[in-house]
Structures are given as C-alpha cells and as structure tokens.
C-alpha cells in the first residue's frame, strides 16, 4: 500500500522533536485483525545511544479503521534495520530515551495506543494485541508485555520467555485494551504488530478516567497527577482530553466542566 509523505512536526514542548506520521503502510487487514510489519518505513542503523533520525521516528500510523500511536520515553519510537534478526525483514522497532536516542533499556518501553480513525484525540480499544521480539539469540531471555485500559488501569501483565532464537509471540487478549506496552531486557526490539481492529469503548465520556459513569474525586486524583506530569509520557494519556500530547489548562477546562456535571450521559 502507498505510504503518505512523512510529516515532520513538533511533538513535545521540552524538545524540538519531529516524528513520522504515516498513512496505510505495509499492513493488511486480516478479517477482523490487522498486521503491521514496518518494513516499508525508513530504518536507522542499529546503534543504541545514537540520536534517532527524523525519517526513522515513528509516532503515528493512520489506517481506515484505526489510528495507532507509538511512544517510548520520547514521544516516538525508532524504526531500526535489524536484518536478519527480525521476524519480517528488514525493520523492527526500538524504544527511545527522553533525549530521542535509540534505547532498548527497561526505562524506554514501547507503548502502542489505539484511537478513532476519524479523531486522533478519541481513544478506542482492542481485545487482542501482539508483537514478536527480535530473533537475536539470547538464552534465558524473558520479556514483559502489559495492557492498559482507557483510564490507564492495568488490565494484564505477562512475563514471556523468549527462548533462542527468539521471535516468540507476545500476546494479550483481554477486553478493553487501549494501550499495549512492551518492556525488553536491554537489547530487544519488536516486530510484527498484530491487533484486533479497535472499536469505541462502551459508555465513554470526557473526564470519566475511572470508567465508572461519574466524573468525581477519584477521576480528579488521576487527572491531577497527569496535569502535574504535563507531557505524555509520563502523564496518563487518558487525561489528555484534547489529544495534543500534553495534560494542560485546555484539558482542565474540559475536565472541570465534566466534574461539574458529575454524571455521564
């Protein structure tokens, strides 16, 4: 499928980062699922600690049925040439440090989140997400995958043995996955993202960060912590009610109105 011209934009206020925002790259809808292999994107050399070039920064993919956003400690992940150590050749994904350098460390996990294809600020959810680690042989390696709901609540956390030569399926299948996280061991990239096509969450309303049908003090605690953190990550993305990558005064205006109303329609 054709790839749109990458659009460079400032993602984060504390760093002048640009990131790749692509439309319908090498992916195929498989019934009710989608598989993304990242192989038509521009990959960087596999040099941990080096700055990720603008052309290899991946922040968002837009499909007809979903928007998928990627982040790490920086607001993008790295597309990396890893031949022959990927389950599909040539590219995989690595995490990024806060300074925008390639990193596979645990402090730089890869986060993948799902949104409405018509509105990148509206979170959607999937019922199944999987990735495959790279195939570089590391005997005894164990990686971790986690799934989070709209409010940032942990839905599942799984330690996955990745015996040599690697590439084992790392999958979580639970209802309501908004964000999927991969945590490696200091050397591990991922490839072949697969997910059940996302849908709108049930009974979603702005400000209801606990998804209990009310916007009350329990939601305020979550929002206040995200507001203090400001930038996503580390701020909880569920509190980013405007979808601009920050939890700031514009989000507070929306939250305050919902808090005043209290009850979701």
Query: Is 14 inside any structural domain?
Result: no
Give the whole-angstrom CA distance, residue 110 versus residue 44. Answer: 17
Are 141 and 221 in a shared domain? no
Query: Is 211 inside any structural domain?
Result: no
Query: Is 4 inside any structural domain?
Result: no
Query: Is 12 inside any structural domain?
Result: no
Are 185 and 242 in a shared domain? no
**In this predicted structure, what is the pLDDT of residue 151?**
78
Query: Is 207 inside any structural domain?
Result: no
**In this predicted structure, what is the pLDDT of residue 202?**
67
Structural domain span for residue 164? 20-196
Query: Is 95 inside any structural domain?
Result: yes
**In this predicted structure, what is the pLDDT of residue 262?**
75
**In this predicted structure, what is the pLDDT of residue 16?**
37
Query: Is 13 inside any structural domain?
Result: no
Are 80 and 114 in a shared domain? yes
Are 179 and 145 in a shared domain? yes
pTM above 0.85, yes or no: no
Q: Over the chain (265 residues), what is each successive 10-residue block's mean pLDDT? A: 28 37 38 88 97 98 95 97 94 97 96 93 92 88 91 89 82 93 93 93 75 84 92 81 86 91 75
Structure tokens at 219: 């939601």
**In this predicted structure, what is the pLDDT of residue 237?**
76
Last residue of a domain, one of 141, 163, 196: 196
Q: How many domains does the chain have?
A: 2
Are 81 and 167 in a shared domain? yes
Are 231 and 155 in a shared domain? no
**In this predicted structure, what is the pLDDT of residue 49?**
97
Are 56 and 159 in a shared domain? yes
Query: Is 6 inside any structural domain?
Result: no
Are 181 and 254 in a shared domain? no
Are 81 and 156 in a shared domain? yes
Domain CATH number, residue 69: 2.60.120
């Amino acid at each position: 499928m054709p790839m749109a011209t990458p659009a460079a934009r400032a993602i984060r206020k504390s760093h002048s980062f640009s990131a790749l925002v692509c439309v319908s790259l090498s992916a195929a809808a498989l019934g009710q699922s989608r598989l993304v292999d990242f192989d038509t994107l521009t990959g960087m050399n596999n040099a941990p600690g080096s700055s990720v070039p603008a052309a290899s920064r991946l922040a968002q993919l837009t499909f007809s049925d979903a928007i998928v956003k990627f982040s790490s400690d920086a607001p993008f992940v790295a597309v990396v040439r890893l031949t022959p150590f990927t389950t599909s050749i040539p590219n995989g994904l690595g995490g990024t440090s806060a300074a925008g350098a390639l990193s596979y460390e645990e402090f730089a996990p890869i986060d993948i989140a799902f949104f409405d294809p018509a509105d990148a600020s509206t979170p959607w959810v999937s019922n199944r997400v999987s990735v495959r680690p790279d195939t570089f042989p590391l005997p005894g390696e164990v990686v971790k995958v986690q799934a989070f709901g709209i409010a940032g609540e942990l839905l599942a956390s799984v330690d996955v043995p990745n015996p040599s030569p690697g590439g084992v399926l790392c999958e979580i299948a639970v209802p309501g996955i908004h964000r999927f996280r991969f945590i490696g061991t200091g050397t591990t990239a991922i490839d072949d993202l697969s997910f059940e096509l996302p849908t709108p969450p049930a009974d979603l309303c702005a400000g209801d960060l606990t998804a209990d049908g009310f916007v009350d003090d329990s939601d305020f605690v979550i929002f206040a912590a995200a507001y203090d953190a400001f930038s996503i990550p580390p701020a909880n993305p569920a509190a980013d009610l405007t979808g601009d990558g920050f939890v700031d005064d514009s989000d507070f205006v929306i939250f305050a109105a919902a808090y005043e109303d209290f009850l979701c329609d």
